[in-house]
């Protein structure tokens, strides 16, 4: 998105002032870098099916083993990380973060639950999804490693999960080519967006899970409580808003 690109540029400028260079690795965030595969008539795919066909045929890099130690240049300062007790506005049921927690979740899910993913991941009342999206978002787990480990596990559930990771890459390549899509219509249909005061009140009700539509409200309450929302619930809640 534009916000992420601006943040990256600010970081690059700050590092240059210290005589350092910023190296960005696209496949930290995605399994396949945006722009790695493109149609012959455009700079990005607008439809998932042809994108997935090309994505599936593209070889991914091998996962890299974690280093035994990381050398930090002399003169680099550090600051204390805020504790959870010192932060406000946290979700009460927020899951623990970090790579160690992510790996525990990934290993347990691959051993016990991935086999039922194909049939169960659309069930809002169940808990058949991986719950790894926060770790993918914040980079505590590698999408490249997830694809490799899921393919190694094999089976219809693993194939369905890999397809969802490809969906994630698909939308990243759309945003890379069209950063305005984060805040504007991707396909211009001359939609008339509401701007009156009542619209702002409706947005507040949506955020608080008080729209009067049970499935939407349940999804938003889950987000407020856990800091996470079921994949299909995200689609419902977002579609309801827009």
Quick check: 137 pLDDT over 70?
yes
**5: pLDDT confidence band, cut at 50, 70 and 90?**
confident
What is the model's pLDDT at position 127? Answer: 84
Quick check: 194 pLDDT over 90?
no
Judged by average pLDDT, the poorest of 75-89, 132-146, 160-174, 187-201 is 75-89
User: pLDDT, tens digit, for every residue of 59-115?
Assistant: 999 988 888 998 887 777 788 887 777 777 778 888 888 999 999 999 999 998 899
Judge contact between 177 and 44, C-beta under 8 A.
Answer: yes
Judge contact between 19 and 161, C-beta under 8 A.
Answer: no
Task: Locate the domains of the chain by residue range.
Answer: 24-59+93-183, 197-241
**214: pLDDT confidence band, cut at 50, 70 and 90?**
very high
Q: What is the DSSP string of 102-115?
A: HHHHHHHHHHHTGG
CA distances to 57, 188, 233 from 177, rounded to whole Å, are 21, 16, 27
Mean pLDDT of the chain: 90
What is the model's pLDDT at position 80? Answer: 84
pTM score: 0.87
Segment (H or E) for 221: helix 214-226
Quick check: 1 pLDDT over 70?
no
What is the model's pLDDT at position 71? Answer: 84
Judge contact between 135 and 142, C-beta under 8 A.
Answer: no
Segment (H or E) for 8: helix 2-17
Quick check: 20 pLDDT over 90?
no
Quick check: 188 pLDDT over 80?
no
Percent of the chain whose predicted confidence (pLDDT) is above 70: 99
What is the model's pLDDT at position 172? Answer: 93
CATH number of 24-59+93-183, picked from 2.50.20.20, 1.25.40.80, 3.10.110.10, 3.40.50.920: 1.25.40.80
**32: pLDDT confidence band, cut at 50, 70 and 90?**
very high
Measure the CA–CA gap between 214 and 220, rounded to whole angstroms.
Answer: 10
């Amino acid at each position: 998105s534009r916000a992420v690109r601006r943040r990256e540029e600010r970081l690059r400028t700050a590092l240059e002032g210290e005589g350092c260079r910023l190296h960005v690795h696209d496949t930290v965030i995605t399994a396949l870098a945006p722009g790695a595969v493109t149609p012959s008539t455009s700079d990005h795919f607008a439809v998932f099916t042809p994108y997935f066909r090309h994505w599936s045929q593209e070889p991914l890099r091998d996962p890299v083993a974690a280093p035994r130690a990381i050398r930090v240049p002399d003169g680099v300062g550090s600051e204390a990380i805020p504790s959870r007790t010192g932060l406000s506005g946290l979700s009460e049921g927020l899951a623990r973060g970090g790579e160690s927690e992510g790996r525990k979740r990934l290993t347990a899910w691959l051993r016990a639950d991935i086999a039922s993913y194909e049939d169960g991941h659309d069930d809002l009342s169940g808990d058949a999804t991986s719950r790894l999206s926060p770790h993918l978002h914040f980079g505590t787990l590698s999408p490249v490693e997830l694809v490799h480990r899921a393919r190694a596990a094999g089976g219809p559930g693993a194939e369905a999960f890999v397809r969802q990771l490809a969906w994630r890459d698909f939308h990243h390549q759309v945003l890379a080519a069209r950063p305005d899509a984060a805040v504007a219509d991707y396909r211009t249909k001359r939609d008339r967006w509401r701007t009156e005061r009542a619209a702002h009140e409706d947005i507040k009700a949506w955020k608080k899970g008080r729209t009067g539509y049970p499935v939407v409200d349940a999804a938003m309450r889950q987000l407020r409580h856990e800091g996470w929302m079921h994949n299909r619930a995200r689609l419902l809640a977002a579609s309801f808003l827009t």
